[in-house]
Structures are given as structure tokens and as C-alpha cells.
A and B are shown apart, each in its own frame.
Chain A
Amino acid sequence: SQKIEQNSEALNIQEGKTATLTCNYTNYSPAYLQWYRQDPGRGPVFLLLIRENEKEKRKERLKVTFDTTLKQSLFHITASQPADSATYLCALAPSGGYQKVTFGTGTKLQVIP
């Protein structure tokens, strides 16, 4: 069966360091992969999308890589700030519509001042 794995343990890092979150998947051939941010008591907010034929995407301090051979995506936040503290969700989508998007359980990031 399809499976998306994100580290369920919280990631604690020092302010200014680079945070790296991992999303692994099995039995899946995604057309694209997304990363969302979710704050406590709020809905997810879209951050970045990377397609299957792309290796890397950047947006300001965010960088996403996508390795379809390893079946893994890495999400990096450089120069992390306490305001980056949140839960980050990865989501995979096959072709055929957003209703087929599958979400991971998320990794909680805590940036320590």
C-alpha cells in the first residue's frame, strides 16, 4: 500500500541553523510533491511544490529537493528563525486531480532562540 513517512519526532534546532525535514514514500509514483506549513489550531498553508522531473526548488529561505530514485524529498529552511516553528506536512499527488493528494503526518519543528 502507499505510504508516506515523515519523522514523527519533533526536530529542535538552534536559531540561525539550517533545518532539514525528510519525507519518504513507498509504493507511489507522484507527479508532484508539496510542502505545507501548519501552525497550532490552524489549517495547512501551501509553501512549495516540486514536480517529478525537477531536482530542486527554492523560495526565499526554503529549498526542496526531490529524488524519485530514493523516493525522498528533503525540505530545508536556511537561517532558521523562531517564527519558523511549526509542523510541516509533505503531500504527494499522482496525476489526475487534487482529490488524490495524500498527506504525510507532519514533522514538528522547534527553532530555539
Chain B
Amino acid sequence: IAGITQAPTSQILAAGRRMTLRCTQDMRHNAMYWYRQDLGLGLRLIHYSNTAGTTGKGEVPDGYSVSRANTDDFPLTLASAVPSQTSVYFCASSPGLGSTEAFFGQGTRLTVV
């Protein structure tokens, strides 16, 4: 089934540890995005990528890094996790940045303790 796959589904992580959230899409979309969703704050953009090899910062990029080595994969890395990074993380993609619709993965629930 075409779509976006995120891994892991959930994770409990000790503060200070490094963690990479994985995201893979098979729709050959150029643009990909990482959001975090927190109660009362809605979805906030962390980083995005217009096409393979390029990335950009969103609203809340601090403490996170991304890479886009190919079209399909867009991993999100927390270099040294802190409790404030406890959240649900969603990866999304769209045909291009000019698209008016994005497709979301099922999310990764991350708890930093």
C-alpha cells in the first residue's frame, strides 16, 4: 500500500541519548516534512525538504536535524534528547512545496525521561 511509513511507532528514551526517527515514502514525492504535535499546540513544523539534497528549518528546529539523501527517506535525529522533546512526531510528504495537500504517516510517540 502506497504511503508513508514511520518507525518506531513509539519509544521511551533516556534524556541525553541520541535518537533517529525514520520516515520512508513510496509515492515519489519531492517534498517531505517533520511535525511535532503537542496537546493544545497543534502541529508545528520542525524541518522540511523541498527535494533530495535540500532541507529547510521550520517553526521549531532547535534540537533536531534532518537529512535527505534520496527521495524516499527523511530521517529526523535528536542529537541529545531532552524531556521537552516528548511529543508525537509526524512525517508528511507532498508532490512538491507548491502542493496544497500533504500525506501524513501514522506518527511516532516519543517519551523522553
Q: Which residues of A contact B (CB under 8 A)?
A: 4, 8, 32, 34, 41-46, 49, 89, 93, 97-99, 101, 103-106
Name A44's contact: one of B43, B56, B98 (CB within 8 Å). B43
Find chain B residues with CB under 8 A from A101 CB.
45, 102
Name A42's contact: one of B35, B98, B107 (CB within 8 Å). B107
Q: Closest A-chain residue to B97, C-beta based?
A: A97
13 A-B pairs within 8 Å (CB atoms) are namely A8-B40, A41-B106, A43-B4, A43-B104, A46-B103, A49-B100, A98-B94, A98-B99, A99-B31, A103-B43, A103-B44, A105-B42, A106-B42
Residues in B29-68 with C-beta less than 8 Å from chain A: 31, 33, 35, 40-45, 48, 56, 58
Total A-B Cβ pairs within 8 A: 56
Q: Which residues of B contact A (CB under 8 A)?
A: 4, 31, 33, 35, 40-45, 48, 56, 58, 90, 92, 94, 97-107
Q: Closest B-chain residue to A104, C-beta based?
A: B42
Question: Is B94 a contact of A105 with CB atoms below 8 Å?
Answer: no
CB distance from A26 to the nearest CB of B (A): 15
Q: Closest B-chain residue to A4, C-beta based?
A: B42
Q: Which 8 A-B pairs have the closest CB atoms?
A: A43-B104, A97-B97, A103-B43, A105-B42, A99-B48, A103-B42, A46-B101, A43-B90
Question: Is B43 a contact of A45 with CB atoms below 8 Å?
Answer: no
Query: In the complex, A44→B33 CA distance in Å?
Result: 13
Find chain A residues with CB under 8 A from B107 CB.
41-43
Question: Is B90 a contact of A89 with CB atoms below 8 Å?
Answer: no
Query: In the complex, A106→B38 CA distance in Å?
Result: 11
* Given known A-B contacts A43-B106, A43-B107, A89 and B100 have beta carbons under 8 A apart: no
